[in-house]
């Protein structure tokens, strides 16, 4: 057990003008279980990194103190364990057991004690494989459980969780929460967890601290009291306050078919079964079709084939007015027919400013200068990017980058837009913006297909749902 304290703590990342957190005073008692809330940019991750001793003097400027049991945090890494959100960049070793052992080796645990502790912590998180199992063959949820075992094996007195389920599908997120429940029941360690989806984590904590911009404490106390008193304000700030009513945007009458997929099949060379196996669908103007199903069911593959981005092994995706299937179209023509928005917006940025980004596809499609300018201005206005015209796309916040990637996919006025996990890892406010934006695009007559794990997103916007299992259509249902 360990108490944690910030005294007048300020941190500015190297190369930034504004501090990430300014003048934070906060004390967390030994053994407390704390949920740290706040919108993107409130410095939650910075505070956790400071406690973990990861903010080194060469990565920024600091002021004030970060104390663990009254002593500088920087020198006490051995007593703190931190779990990050991205499972892939937390695993160091090729074999699962070695990865848990890695932290113990660093701690100079005696060699004959290492393996018993590895087995103990793997059991604690319910890791289903042997120690020799390759880490790259694990699913995201399994990788995250392994990373958690790596944290627990070191027997930290302070456990920090930085959005531990944000990058996982619902099944993976459940398994991590289950592992956390078991593990936390077994230890007296102090816990600080950062999480957007509050409802799922509330039974693990006994105190909620809500931060505003720059790390200012907005509310602090037991969960019920905090949400009763400050619920509306927190929702406004982007927190998923439990019990809030999800929005609903039913569509008007869908029009004609804008995109048709026939017997779409993709077999990767050397794979045991097709990634996608004979899936048919049609997509009509003014509707949103939600494509759902567990990880590995072929959802993202369907989006790639439907968008004409990958050549199907069999089957075709076609739009009216084109005699060739989409995958045969040259890219500049494809962009005027179907837009695709990927999960990671940064993969899609191809220019140095927001304006150029929006002008790119219309320019490639040889639109006239005047038409391009008009289109760019319209999109900047509609997606509230007008103040960022000259900004570099790579410097945008998560929500802005997402809006820009949607805007740039729409730039060349395609009649079909495909979205791959559009709400992944977004805070409540950005989520709400995305739902509104998607509804307005749909209601203008664009045909939308969204691959999503997000039940609330699908419920708010989709009139039909296509459920995939193991590469095949499992069910196709009207939602209303």
Partner 1 sequence: MLTIEPICDPRAPIARANPVAKLFAVAAVSTTALLAGDWLTPLLLLAALIAVVPFAGIRLGPLLRRLRWLLVAAGTVAVVNTVFAAEKTGTVLFSAGPLEITSDASIDGVALGLRVCVAATAGVLGFATTDPTDLADAFTQQLRTSPRFTIGSLAALRMLPLLGAEWQQITTARRARGMEGGRNPVRRARLFASTMFTLLVGAMRRAGRLADAMDARGFDSEIPRTHARIQRMRRTDWLLLAGAITVAIAAVAVSFAYGTFDLLA
Q: Which of residues 180-209 bind partner 1 (CB under 8 A)?
A: none
The interface region with partner 1, picked from 6-14, 94-102, 220-228, 450-458 by CB under 8 A, is: 94-102
Enumerate residues 6+ apart whose C-beta is below 8 A from 377: none
Beta strand residue intervals within 126-241, DSSP E: 158-162, 190-194, 207-211, 217-221
- Residue in 90, 190, 292, 438 binding partner 1, rule: CB under 8 A: 90
Site for partner 1 in 377-416 (CB under 8 A): 394, 408-409, 412
Does the protein bind partner 1 through residue 134 (CB under 8 A)?
Answer: yes
Residues from 7 through 66 that contact partner 1 (CB under 8 A): 49, 52-54
Smallest distance from partner 1 to CB 274, Å: 18
Separation in Å, CA 312 to CA 155, 267, 274, 279, 470: 50, 8, 11, 11, 17
- Do 177 and 165 meet the contact criterion of CB atoms below 8 Å apart? yes
Binding residue for partner 1, selected from 227, 281, 349, 457, defined by CB under 8 A: 349
Q: Which of 216, 219, 217 is nearest to 22 (CA)?
A: 216
Q: 288 near 452, Cβ under 8 Å? A: no
With tokens 């504004």, the residue in question is 18
Q: In Å, what is the CA distance from 305 to each residue of 88, 276, 416?
A: 26, 9, 14
Q: What is the DSSP string of 28-63?
A: E-TT-EEEEE--TTSSHHHHHHHHTT---GGGEEEE
Other C-beta atoms closer than 10 Å to the C-beta of 240 total 19
Closest CA to 34 of 193, 234, 174, 181: 193
Q: Taking contact as CB under 8 A, which single stretch among the options 21-29, 99-107, 177-185, 232-240 is the one that binds partner 1?
A: 99-107
Given candidates 98, 282, 433, 456, which one binds partner 1 under the rule CB under 8 A?
98
Which listed range, 145-153, 214-222, 246-254, 291-299, lies at the site for partner 1 (CB under 8 A)? Answer: 145-153
Residue 261 in contact with partner 1, rule: CB under 8 A: no
Token readout for 318 is: 């076609």
Q: For partner 1, give the closer residue by CB, 210 or 358.
A: 358
Query: How many residues touch partner 1 (CB under 8 A)?
Result: 69
Q: Using the rule CB under 8 A, give the single segment among 13-21, 28-36, 79-87, 193-201 that binds partner 1.
A: 79-87
Least distance between partner 1 and beta carbon 218 (Å): 28
Q: Does 108 bind partner 1 (CB under 8 A)?
A: yes
Angle at 84 between CA 218 and CA 164, to 5 degrees: 70
Q: Which is nearer to partner 1, 90 or 426 (CB)?
A: 90
Residue 5's DSSP bridge partners are 27, 67
- Residue 100 or 180 with smaller CB distance to partner 1: 100
Chain residues in the site for partner 1 (CB under 8 A) = 49, 52-54, 77-78, 80-82, 84, 86, 88-95, 97-98, 101-111, 114-115, 118, 134-136, 147, 150-151, 154, 304, 307, 309-310, 330-332, 334-336, 339-340, 342, 344, 346-350, 360-361, 364-365, 394, 408-409, 412
């Amino acid at each position: 057990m360990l108490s944690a304290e910030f005294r007048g703590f300020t941190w500015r990342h190297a190369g930034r003008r504004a501090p990430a957190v300014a003048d934070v005073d906060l004390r967390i008692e030994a053994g407390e279980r704390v949920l740290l809330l706040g919108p993107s940019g409130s410095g939650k991750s910075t505070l956790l990194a400071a406690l973990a001793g990861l903010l080194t003097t060469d990565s920024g400027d600091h002021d004030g103190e970060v104390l663990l049991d009254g002593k500088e945090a920087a020198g006490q890494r051995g007593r703190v364990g931190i779990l990050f959100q991205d499972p892939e960049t937390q695993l160091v070793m090729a074999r699962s057991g070695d990865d848990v052992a890695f932290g113990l080796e660093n701690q100079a645990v005696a060699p004959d004690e290492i393996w018993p502790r590895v087995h103990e912590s793997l059991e604690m998180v319910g890791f289903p494989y042997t120690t020799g199992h390759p880490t790259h063959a694990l699913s995201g949820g399994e990788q995250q459980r392994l990373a958690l075992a790596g944290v627990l094996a070191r027997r930290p007195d302070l456990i920090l969780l930085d959005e531990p389920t944000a990058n996982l599908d619902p099944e993976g997120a459940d398994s991590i929460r289950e592992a956390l429940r078991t593990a936390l029941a077994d230890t007296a360690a102090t816990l600080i967890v950062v999480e957007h989806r509050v409802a799922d984590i509330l039974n693990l904590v006994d105190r909620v601290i809500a931060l505003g911009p720059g790390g200012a404490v907005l509310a602090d106390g037991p969960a019920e009291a905090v949400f009763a008193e400050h619920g509306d304000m927190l929702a406004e700030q982007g927190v998923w306050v439990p019990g809030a009513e999800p929005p609903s945007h039913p569509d008007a009458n869908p029009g004609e078919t804008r995109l048709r997929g026939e017997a779409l099949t993709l077999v990767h060379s050397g794979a045991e079964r097709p990634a996608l196996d004979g899936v048919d669908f049609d997509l009509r103007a003014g509707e949103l079709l939600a494509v759902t199903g567990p990880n590995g069911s072929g959802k993202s593959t369907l989006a790639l084939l439907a968008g004409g981005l990958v050549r199907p092994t069999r089957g075709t995706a076609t739009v009216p007015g084109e005699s060739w299937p989409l995958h045969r179209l040259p890219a500049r023509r494809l962009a005027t027919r179907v837009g695709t928005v990927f999960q990671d917006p940064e993969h899609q940025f191809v220019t140095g400013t927001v304006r150029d980004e929006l002008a790119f596809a219309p320019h490639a499609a040889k639109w006239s200068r005047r038409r391009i300018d008009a289109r760019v201005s319209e999109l900047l206005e509609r997606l509230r990017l007008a103040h960022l015209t000259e900004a570099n796309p790579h410097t945008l916040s998560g929500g802005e980058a997402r809006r820009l990637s949607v805007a740039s996919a729409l730039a060349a006025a395609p009649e079909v837009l495909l979205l791959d996990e559009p709400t992944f890892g977004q805070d409540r406010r950005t989520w709400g913006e995305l739902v509104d934006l998607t509804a307005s695009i749909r209601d203008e007559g664009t045909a939308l297909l969204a691959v999503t794990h997000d039940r609330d997103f699908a419920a708010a916007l989709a009139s039909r749902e296509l459920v995939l299992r193991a590469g095949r259509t499992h069910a196709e249902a009207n939602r209303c």
